[in-house]
Amino acid sequence: MTDDERERAWATVHDAMAQIPGWAVGPCTYHGEVALWHVAAIDLRPRGRYAKREAITATGATEIAALRALVALVEARQSDGTRSGSAVARVPPLSPTAGVDPARLWADGKDGQS
């Protein structure tokens, strides 16, 4: 994989993301335990205090494959015109405090661990 291929893949992702305002794409990360690359797009539009954010996640054997999969899922979401379906998934927790309301942690004065 060359830098030029990577840049073209990211450009395609950003072009697809421009079609769904209020969304942002995160970094593409490698997870060695499953030998896959993961990338997620997240809806950053304002929501209620406890509302879950919508996310589209994609995986691939290479970084470019994961980026192409994300583009395909974003385009499928756009063509379906729906907010649900197999292309839309919740982002899995990545830390012990993931999924915990930060305001609640602050109010309780805890770091999210018992």
Q: What is the pLDDT of residues 13-28, one digit of tens each?
A: 999 999 999 999 999 9
Tell me what pLDDT residue 35 has. Answer: 93
Contact 14, 70 (CB under 8 A): no
Write the DSSP symbol of residue 61: S
Query: Which contacts (CB < 8 Å, 24+ apart) does range 24-32 have?
Result: 25/70, 28/63, 28/66, 28/67, 30/63
**Number of compact structural domains in the chain:** 1
Average pLDDT value over all residues in the chain: 77
Asked if the structure places residue 21 within a domain, the reply is yes
Contact 39, 58 (CB under 8 A): yes
What's the average model confidence in pLDDT over 62-75? 95
The domain of 84 spans: 3-108
Asked if the structure places residue 39 within a domain, the reply is yes
Asked if the structure places residue 40 within a domain, the reply is yes
- What are the b/e assignments for 58-69, b being 16+ CB within 10 Å? bebebbbbbbbb
Asked if the structure places residue 114 within a domain, the reply is no
pTM: 0.66
Asked if the structure places residue 89 within a domain, the reply is yes
Q: What share of the chain is helix, strand, coil (3-state, %, to 5)?
A: 35, 20, 45
Cα–Cα distance for residue pair 80/51, rounded to 1 Å = 23
Asked if the structure places residue 113 within a domain, the reply is no
